[in-house]
Amino acid sequence: MIMKLQPPIQPVWKQVSKNWGHPFHPMCSYMAMFPPQLPYYFIQRFSRPGDRVLDPFSGRGTTPTQACVDGRIGIANDLNPLAYILSRAKVDPPEETDVQARLAQLAAAYRDNPGSLPDTTGDIGAVFHAQTLRQLLFLKGILTNDRNDTFIKATIAGILHGKYRRSGSDSIYLSIDMPNTFSMSPAYIRRYVKEKGLVYLALDVFEKTGRRLQRLFRRGAPPTRGQAFQQDVRQLHQWVQPESIRLVVSSPPYLKVIKYGLYNWIRLWFLGVAHKEVDRTLDDAHALDAYLAFMQETIGQLERLLVPGGVCVLVIGDVAHNNQAPLNLALEVWEAVRAHSNLRLLDLVADPIADHRKVTKIWNNTRGRATATDRIMVLCKGDRPAVDQLPVQWDS
């Protein structure tokens, strides 16, 4: 039985401009990301400044970043190394002057010892001009895990590949012309370059990164800092204190839809991580029973972390294969969880996905079929939320 909230939750965030939000949000695209307007709604409604807001599958860090923007303490967690770097950079950023000074130091070190031009016959050679690749290899070998270097890594990850302009001077991205959202295969890139007669441009990584940093910091950093972890969500109580989280807003992994490693192989290359290892770690090929068992453990862990009266918001996509009717996966998850949890189901809201947002659009004639509708499942630890602030006010 669903205990409907009053007034009910409606997807009013869809009425807000797609360009709304802090400049940190679009630092790097990420497959299956939700827009910052969505967590903003729930952060404003179900938490207060100073509360701790968690996303256990943080992706590019949208929920914890928005929490920090709104004066809450954003807590991020994700096993994917790329997601961890992006989330950590946003919730615990350096001062702009410090990160720009570090970039200048790196540029000077490169000028003193740039190394030889790399061999471009391998997979990564299909993506960049040799001079650009030489700069990336230098940075790949010298960047550390401190706050400044983490932010630089995340910034470069966001501009590694995407659309370019033939002049090069106005290009944001560092690669040959290609999508920004996901990494095309090396063989496809080489065929595409040959068919279109594209020319590799010698793009300066240091210059492009410096310009990007200026854009990211144009409104300053969020007013509060958060934390980022790279742990199995089912063991998160070892790093996050139980009954310390006011609100969870997250989108668990899509069932059998996305290879987060393969589709980010270029960014993972820069981070020094094998994409096959990421996909083995994340293991997204669960059958339904295994997925439901995983979600049962996950929600049990989130219940443990929530304060009494805390709210858990999970965005779960419907799944359809071939000509079968779509499976309401969120409802399946709830049916699997309800007998093992003291959480209450407050609402289950349908949120249809526009064609241009569908994560499966990369699969040509089958695009969009696997996930046509998201379901927003709202759970509460207790009979009702301890915080329920209405109306939600939208800032600029």
Q: What is the pLDDT of residues 144-175, one digit of tens each?
A: 999 999 999 999 999 999 988 766 667 899 99
List of the chain residues with pLDDT < 70: 1-3, 166-169, 255-257, 283-286, 321-323, 354-371, 396
| d(C-alpha 118, C-alpha 282), whole Å | 32
CB atoms within 10 A of CB 280: 10
208-239: buried (b, 16+ CB within 10 Å) or exposed (e) per residue? bbbebbeebbeeebbebebbbbbbebeebeee
What's the distance, Cα to Cα, between the start and end of the chain in Å? 37
Residues in the chain: 396
Domains in the chain, please, with CATH? Answer: 12-80+226-262+276-380 (3.40.50.150), 96-216 (no CATH)
Q: Residue 368: its pLDDT value, please?
A: 44
Computed on alpha carbons and rounded to an integer, the radius of gyration of the chain in Å comes to: 21
Q: Residue 10: its pLDDT value, please?
A: 86
Query: What are the Cα distances from residue 33, in Å, to 72, 90, 294, 358, 359?
Result: 21, 15, 21, 10, 9
Q: Residue 394: its pLDDT value, please?
A: 86
Q: How far is CA 6 from the centre of its chain?
A: 31
Task: State pLDDT tens for residues 263-300.
Answer: 999 999 999 999 888 888 876 666 889 899 999 999 99
Considering the entire predicted model, what is its pTM?
A: 0.93
Q: Residue 285: its pLDDT value, please?
A: 60
